[in-house]
Structure 1
Amino acid sequence: MTTLKTKVAIIGAGSAGIRAYREVTKTTDDVLLIEDGPYGTTCARVGCMPSKLLIAAAEAAHVSAHTASMGVTYPAPQIDGAAVMARVRSERDRFVGFVEDTVEDWPEHQRIRARATFVSDTELSLSDGRKVLAETIIIATGSRPAILPFFESFGDRLIVNYDVFSWDTLPKSVAVFGAGVIGLELGQALHRLGVRVTLFGRDNLVGPLTDPEVLAEARKNFSDEFDFHPHSDVSNHRRTDTGVAVDLDGETLEYDYALIATGRRPNVDKLGLENTSLELDARGVPVFDLHTGQCGAAPVFIAGDANNIIPLLHEAADEGMAAGYNAAHYPDIRRFTKSAPISVVFSDPQIMMVGETHRALTERGADFDLGSVDWSDQGRARVMGVNKGLLRVYGERNTGRFLGAEMIGPRAEHLAHLLAWSLQSRLTVAEMLERPFYHPVIEEGLRTALRILNANLQMGAMPPPRCIDCGPGA
């Protein structure tokens, strides 16, 4: 049996693994990147990019929805499902190709195509019969859709988001289960592309939102547009001769497919972690330090979706950097700061969350207040005919520090960045209000919410502009 020795072994060539490799090779070339599937990231292959391609087509089909009040109308869109999906697949393959080319340009002796399982904290067994002895190991194995046994009765008509992006054309109907990010984005996009869609949720949740007022606004917006059941009992469902059937409120609803979007699970269950000294949490994920990536005191690090914390590309890349640096410099371990939390859902209206959520603030007993703006009356939003939604911003009493925000409304992806940068810069609400706001722009709605928050925090009146010619004490 061949045994390979290396300083660092990385399991997984996705966003986290690729970033970890780049960081390790700044210090040493003694590294092995182990992958048993295709190179490339969840984002490029089955996540961010193909979903945004589908959403872009849906937005094009829906462009006339808010223009009638402006005196501009269009004929009904002609949607060519085959052409829509051909572009999704073609552009998706282009994005994936860039990642594959990058990895395949790395030295061949540093890449292994095999499945790896742990024999001990520093030893791996490969599916090709070889072994790897490493000084340090990085787990960057990503995640996959979680499918509850509850849905197995759908048989071969059960699909996940991966399957959607392989379609040759659009189906006539889809039942979507799960009103999280994936279910909401794909469900609305398919509806706008002419597919008959019903979205079944649980516990009245919409995406990642926790603020009760924003949640209520989100439920209203999406329920007004398409068939959305925020909390539904669909215990009786099955495969039929032609598709799937769901019994709801005494009525039988039939669809071509059942799209399951009820969460994801980390790919750590087949790594042989029971052969290591690592402490595992309730889901079988190694307990690790958020700022170093290290699992306990072992020479093992974890990054990306495999750690089951924040399944976002930029978070995976940052965690890959930290894990790569520490694995290469072990036992010299450094702690790295985390970026301000930021989350965006590319629905319409868009959803965003920054910093601490309303639920997190409430649960920790934070002394906070809030400000809000209703987008229905915001100037620029009304001009563009996209005046739907609600923004709520949170600040800390006594200090005036900005804490976070939740929103459904126009251009949320851009407002999220402004707020995340402000949070990471540790600005107070008053300092945020000192920054310029152009007129007329969506950002003026943010200023309104911040002004209300600042008043509610009772931090005093806003100071006048600073006088640059005045002497001390003037």
Structure 2
Amino acid sequence: MNSYDVAVIGSGPGGYVAAIRCAQLGMKTAIIEKYSVLGGTCLNVGCIPSKALLDSSHHYEDAIKHFSEHGIDIPGDIKVNLKQMITRKQSVVDQTTSGIDFLMKKNKIDVYEGIGSFKDATHITISGNESTEIEAKNTIIATGSKPSTLPFIKIDKERIITSTEALKLTEIPKHLIVIGGGVIGLELGQVYKRLGAEVTVIEYMDRIVPTMDSAVSKELNKVFKKQKFSINTSHKVKSVERNGNEVIVKADNKKGEEVSFTGDYCLVSVGRRPYTDGLNAEAAGVKLTERGQIEVNAHLQTNVSNIYAVGDVVKGAMLAHKASEEGVLVAEIIAGQKPHIDYNLIPGVVYTWPEAAAVGKTEEELKEAGIAYKTGQFPMRALGRSRASMDLDGFVKILADKTTDEILGVHMVGARAADMIAEAVVAMEYRASAEDVSRMSHAHPTFTEAIKEAALAATDDIALHM
């Protein structure tokens, strides 16, 4: 029987990063993955493939809507080759997952294919083509999550689908109904809207991306309506039925009236659930919460001292970069170090176009906590860079402590917001004030000038270019 200092169950961004860090710190490490490819949801059916399709569809939309304005004339009709788009997406995925294979070999990490199941707290059975058992002094559970559904919806993976199936459709939907106005639904909805589908979004809450600052929700709502999305908030879905190639969704609107939506595909994107199937956690004595998550303390340690858990399978935002940070933290704790994660500084991003990104507290959270704050906001359309690239939608909003001027939250919608948010994370990591950021030189012309201007507005109540 092979023995290890650390065994990692799951090879997503939490698992494979944890394994690499453990190996770097001198521990003999194994990683267990049920599928034949490493990378988990993010690399295979999540972050990476969805961004590939978002980029491809963005190029197509630019070609049909904006090239002529830029003085680029293309003779003949511009057509979508969905098959090639999906093929390119898969090649991006394959390149990325093969990179993880390389990193495992480079760091001398043993890879086991199969379902990792606890026999007890220090022994794991791996059920694959052949059954194997290994011994591990420490184990990191990184089994991730799966798409959630509603109790009355039957996912047939053909017309009533999850994000996994939406990434490999063989035709462009005529009318895609999206249940859930969160990140996944909006991103995939935008992919197929650009390619010619009619898209209807049905959201239970009173606004889309309801966990983000209300100003972000309001701006994205305005943008999507301009892009001819049908946005239906405060709608409670009560049935989803398939009739041949049609899907009928019935919901109650905020007045309690029944409304019906008919499309040829329905994407169910109502969140994700922790995935622990086959883990046999009870055999190791590991406790789960009522929500099916692995119960952990502040060090991501379970009630069994040598077993830890990271990523989507524990509490907190289900984000790949959050999982990776946790993977590093646990590896370093096992090695005897004292790392730390500030969960308030884990950014969130919506990769639609324009993008939306945020870090820190929302205005609603500050109000609820009774914290006195001030606001500075600057529109992207006031930037020379935005006009040059024709990306005029969006804004940057900075929330700062009314007394100390410390930045408490940054929220933005706009081109390259996903990249720009890193500046805000750095500033908040070093507890910068709005004035600190307002006095930093930002290259001109850039999108990040909006951050400087919003900081000026928060500090002096007036921006330079407003």
Where on the TM-score scale, by shorter chain, does this alignment land: which range?
A: 0.7 to 0.9
Task: Say if 2:31 is the partner of 1:33.
Answer: yes
Task: Say if 2:120 is the partner of 1:120.
Answer: yes
Residue type of the alignment partner of 1:273: A
Q: CA deviation at 1:399?
A: 1.4
- Shift in alpha-carbon separation, 1:250–1:68, aligned structure 2, 3 A: farther
| Aligned 1:253-264 pairs, distance under 5 A | 253-264=261-272
Q: Which residue of 2 aligns with 1:301?
A: 308
Task: Say if 2:353 is the partner of 1:361.
Answer: no
| 1:352 alignment partner, one of 343, 349, 357 | 357
Q: CA deviation at 1:351?
A: 0.5
Counting aligned pairs with the same residue, the percent is 26
1:123 and 1:133 in contact (8 A); partners too: yes
Q: Which residue of 1 aligns with 2:16?
A: 18
Q: Which residue of 1 aligns with 2:340?
A: 336
Residue type of the alignment partner of 1:218: L
Q: CA deviation at 1:10?
A: 1.5
Task: Say if 2:379 is the partner of 1:374.
Answer: yes
- Shift in alpha-carbon separation, 1:209–1:384, aligned structure 2, 3 A: farther
1:371 and 1:452 in contact (8 A); partners too: yes
| Aligned 1:273-312 pairs, distance under 5 A | 273-290=281-298, 292-296=299-303, 298-312=305-319
Q: Which residue of 2 aligns with 1:96?
A: 97
Task: Say if 2:463 is the partner of 1:455.
Answer: no
Q: CA deviation at 1:369?
A: 1.7
* Cα distance in structure 1, aligned partners of 2:259 and 2:59: 33
Gap regions ≥5 residues in structure 1: 463-474
Q: Which residue of 2 aligns with 1:436?
A: 441
* Cα distance in structure 1, aligned partners of 2:384 and 2:25: 53
Q: Which residue of 2 aligns with 1:167?
A: 169
- Shift in alpha-carbon separation, 1:244–1:442, aligned structure 2, 3 A: same
CA offsets 1:282-307 (integer angstroms, 9 cap, x no match) = 313233244x3322461111122222
2:20 and 2:104 in contact (8 A); partners too: no
1:395 and 1:404 in contact (8 A); partners too: yes
* Cα distance in structure 2, aligned partners of 1:321 and 1:447: 32
1:172 and 1:196 in contact (8 A); partners too: yes
* Cα distance in structure 2, aligned partners of 1:101 and 1:256: 41
When structure 1 is superposed on structure 2, of 389-398 and 96-105 the one drifting more is 96-105
* Cα distance in structure 2, aligned partners of 1:416 and 1:227: 29
Q: Provide the aligned C-alpha RMSD in A.
A: 3.0
When structure 1 is superposed on structure 2, of 136-145 and 228-237 the one drifting more is 228-237
- Shift in alpha-carbon separation, 1:456–1:297, aligned structure 2, 3 A: farther
| 1:200 alignment partner, one of 199, 202, 211 | 202
* Cα distance in structure 2, aligned partners of 1:154 and 1:119: 34
Q: CA deviation at 1:273?
A: 2.5
When structure 1 is superposed on structure 2, of 371-380 and 301-310 the one drifting more is 371-380
Provide the secondary structure at the position in 1 that maps to 2:450.
Answer: helix
- Shift in alpha-carbon separation, 1:8–1:213, aligned structure 2, 3 A: closer
When structure 1 is superposed on structure 2, of 152-161 and 81-90 the one drifting more is 152-161
Q: Which residue of 2 aligns with 1:184?
A: 186
* Cα distance in structure 2, aligned partners of 1:251 and 1:338: 44
- Shift in alpha-carbon separation, 1:76–1:376, aligned structure 2, 3 A: farther
Residue type of the alignment partner of 2:79: Q
Q: Which residue of 1 aligns with 2:223?
A: 221
When structure 1 is superposed on structure 2, of 302-311 and 53-62 the one drifting more is 302-311
1:278 and 1:298 in contact (8 A); partners too: no
Q: Which residue of 2 aligns with 1:237?
A: 240
Residue type of the alignment partner of 1:85: I
2:23 and 2:108 in contact (8 A); partners too: no
Residue type of the alignment partner of 1:385: M
* Cα distance in structure 2, aligned partners of 1:360 and 1:184: 24
* Cα distance in structure 2, aligned partners of 1:15 and 1:116: 17
* Cα distance in structure 1, aligned partners of 2:368 and 2:122: 40
1:437 and 1:447 in contact (8 A); partners too: yes
TM-score (normalizing by structure 1): 0.85
* Cα distance in structure 1, aligned partners of 2:58 and 2:319: 23
2:400 and 2:407 in contact (8 A); partners too: yes
1:304 and 1:317 in contact (8 A); partners too: yes
Q: Which residue of 2 aligns with 1:58?
A: 57
Gap regions ≥5 residues in structure 2: 252-256
Provide the secondary structure at the position in 2 that maps to 1:133.
Answer: strand
- Shift in alpha-carbon separation, 1:146–1:67, aligned structure 2, 3 A: same
CA offsets 1:324-379 (integer angstroms, 9 cap, x no match) = 2333x3xx462334473212211111101022233333333322221112334444
* Cα distance in structure 1, aligned partners of 2:31 and 2:70: 56
* Cα distance in structure 2, aligned partners of 1:204 and 1:409: 23
1:214 and 1:392 in contact (8 A); partners too: no
How many residue pairs match? The answer is 452
Q: Which residue of 2 aligns with 1:79?
A: 80
| Aligned 1:420-431 pairs, distance under 5 A | 420-431=425-436
Q: CA deviation at 1:139?
A: 0.6
* Cα distance in structure 1, aligned partners of 2:164 and 2:156: 17
1:79 and 1:194 in contact (8 A); partners too: no
Provide the secondary structure at the position in 1 that maps to 2:79.
Answer: coil
Q: CA deviation at 1:456?
A: 5.2
TM-score (normalizing by structure 2): 0.86
* Cα distance in structure 2, aligned partners of 1:374 and 1:209: 22
Q: Which residue of 1 aligns with 2:254?
A: none
Provide the secondary structure at the position in 2 that maps to 1:305.
Answer: helix
